[in-house]
Amino acid sequence: MDFTFWDIVRNLLTGLQWTAALSVVAFIGGGLIGLLVLLMRISKSRFARTLARGYIELFQGTPLLMQLFLIFFGVALLGIDISPWMAAALALTLFTSAYLAEIWRGCVESIANGQWEASASLAMSPLEQMRYVIFPQAFRVAIAPTVGFSVQVIKGTAVTSIIGFTELTKTGSMLANATFEPFMVYGLVALGYFLLCYPLSLSARYLERRLHASA
Amino acid sequence: MAYQFDFLPVLQNSDLLLRGALFTLELTAIGTLLGVSLGIVGAVVRAWNIRPFAALFGLYVELIRNTPFLVQLFFIFFGLPGLGLHISEWQASVLAMVINLGAYSTEIIRAGIQAIPKGQLEAASALAMTRFEAFRHVVLQPALAKVWPALSSQIIIVMLGSAVCSQIATEELSFYANFIQSRNFRAFETYALTTLIYLCMALLIRQLLNAFGRRYLSRSR
């Protein structure tokens, strides 16, 4: 079968959509779970803190590829048939949650202690303190690194091609094998990721500069 | 029927896992040495705005930091032979690691260099230090000391990222994990143990780099 240049680009664009879809799912899911891990990480319970620390250490200290394999094969052991898409989404969500929890912890801890003390003296509960005093301030600090981390999530999705999820990289591999033009195909694949990631990198930098300017 | 975990078929192959782990460490060592060296050059060029290289390094950094390591690896291994450049699997892996770490460390070290006050260099020349001495003791060492934790994290990320090098048949740790599980069909146990080895290697490298930083970078007061 012959592929014209436009056939290649069209197929890659389809793969790019799956890369984008997986990134969005992982980012939203990871954000929600990351918030839970964050609350555990900064809670008063020693047990919860240790658990959260172990969780973060596990995901930051092991390759994403191994996390994918463990979830892909581990869930299958439970007798549940899991598609590459589900395994990819689950693994990347957990991966993202660990990193976001750690990033956000830094942001929460950057809020001066006096803010906690002042809100406690106003008889706020810990949850109210978090909701009305700490969180709104930490949120401002967190935007730039969070946007910056989204680039890592998008790049992380490339690894899911290894368990057979047909996103941009997998589409590229198949096209490279079919067309014998790896240089051009992988060049285009790289360009696809660049077009997704570079605007996010630029916005992260812009947001960081704006934050420092206003602080 | 509940699944029976059996780690024995994996442990019987621990010699292969060890061989793979050692090769991963080897790749990481070479990649770190060359990658950080490249980063130092890039950081100096960028921080002192040496034309026209500063713009070239800027482009390089953005290209690498905004594309996945796996795609860089495939581009090098499958794409470059098209230009007549043939390299082996492990050479492609090292090259990809060097290029990747080079880009990140350029940015990390540049931040360290830019944090050094101008007056320090003037003071160095007032003390009759040569330009090289001044660079080494007044610019590079304090800059590296400042950013060492960030640089260490990036080196560990590169080590963990090298797991995908098994995809071009580089015989590192995850390559042997794939090999073992394809023979004993104990995929979960094999990858669980392999993951544990990676975790230990990450902790080990962190300790080694911390020790290196304390020994050679921090100033004795």
- CA nearest neighbour of B161 among B78, B89, B105, B98: B98
Residue A182 at interface with chain B, using a CB cutoff of 8 Å: yes
- A109–chain B nearest CA distance, Å: 19
Which whole-number Å values give the CA distances from A7 to A2, A10, A11, in the listed order? 9, 5, 6
**Chain A, chain B: beta-carbon pairs less than 8 Å apart:** 119
Residue-level pLDDT, tens digit, chain A, 215 residues: 678 999 999 999 999 999 999 999 999 999 999 999 999 999 989 999 999 999 999 999 999 999 999 999 999 888 888 999 999 999 999 999 999 999 999 999 999 889 989 999 999 998 899 889 999 999 999 999 999 999 999 999 999 999 999 999 999 999 999 999 999 999 999 999 999 999 999 999 999 999 877 75
| Beta-carbon separation of A186 and B79 below 8 A | yes
Nearest to B66 among A161, A181, A198 (CB): A198
Closest Cα in chain A, distance from residue B51 (Å): 23
Helix H segments across B48-116?
A: 53-65, 69-74, 89-114
**Is the omega angle on the peptide bond into residue B52 within 30 degrees of 0, that is, cis?**
yes
Chain A nearest CA to B70, separation (Å): 7
Smallest Cβ–Cβ distance between B62 and the set A67, A193, A198 belongs to A198
- The answer to whether the Cβ–Cβ distance between A159 and B68 falls below 8 Å is yes
A112 touches chain B (CB under 8 A): no
Cα–Cα nearest to A156, from A93, A84, A76: A93
Tell me the residue type at B219.
R
Predicted confidence at residue B220, as pLDDT, reads 53
Q: Is A205 left (phi over 0), alpha (psi -120 to 50) or beta?
A: alpha
Rounded to a whole number of angstroms, the distance from the CA of A67 to the nearest CA of chain B is 8
Question: Using CB atoms and an 8 Å cut-off, which of residues 43-102 of chain A contact chain B?
Answer: 57-58, 61-67, 69-70, 73-74, 77-78
Contact across the interface for B72 and A176, Cβ inside 8 Å: no
Residues in chain B closer than 8 A to A70 (CB atoms): 188, 191-192, 195
The residue of A155, A186, A193, A201 whose CB has the most chain B CBs within 10 angstroms, and thus the best one to mutate to test that interface, is A186
Hey, are the CB atoms on B68 and A156 less than 8 Å from each other?
yes
CA–CA gap between residue A171 and residue A165 (Å, rounded): 9
pLDDT recorded at residue A126: 85
Task: Flag if A182 and B3 touch (Cβ within 8 Å).
Answer: no
Does ipTM come in above 0.90?
A: yes
Average pLDDT score over residue span B149-162:
97
- Best of B71, B186, B190 to disrupt the A interface by mutation (most A CBs within 10 Å)? B71
pLDDT over 80 at B80, yes or no = yes
Convert the pLDDT of each residue in A101-122 to its tens digit: 999 999 999 998 899 899 999 9
Asked if the Cβ–Cβ distance from B63 to A190 is below 8 Å, we say yes
pLDDT value at residue B221: 43
Mean pLDDT of B217-221: 67
- Measured CA to CA, the distance from residue A16 to residue A21 in angstroms comes to 9
Residues B174, A193: C-beta atoms closer than 8 Å = no
pLDDT (average), residues B46-51:
92
pLDDT tens digits for B87-141?
Answer: 999 999 999 999 999 999 999 999 999 999 888 888 988 898 888 888 999 999 9
Q: Is the pLDDT of residue B1 over 60?
A: no
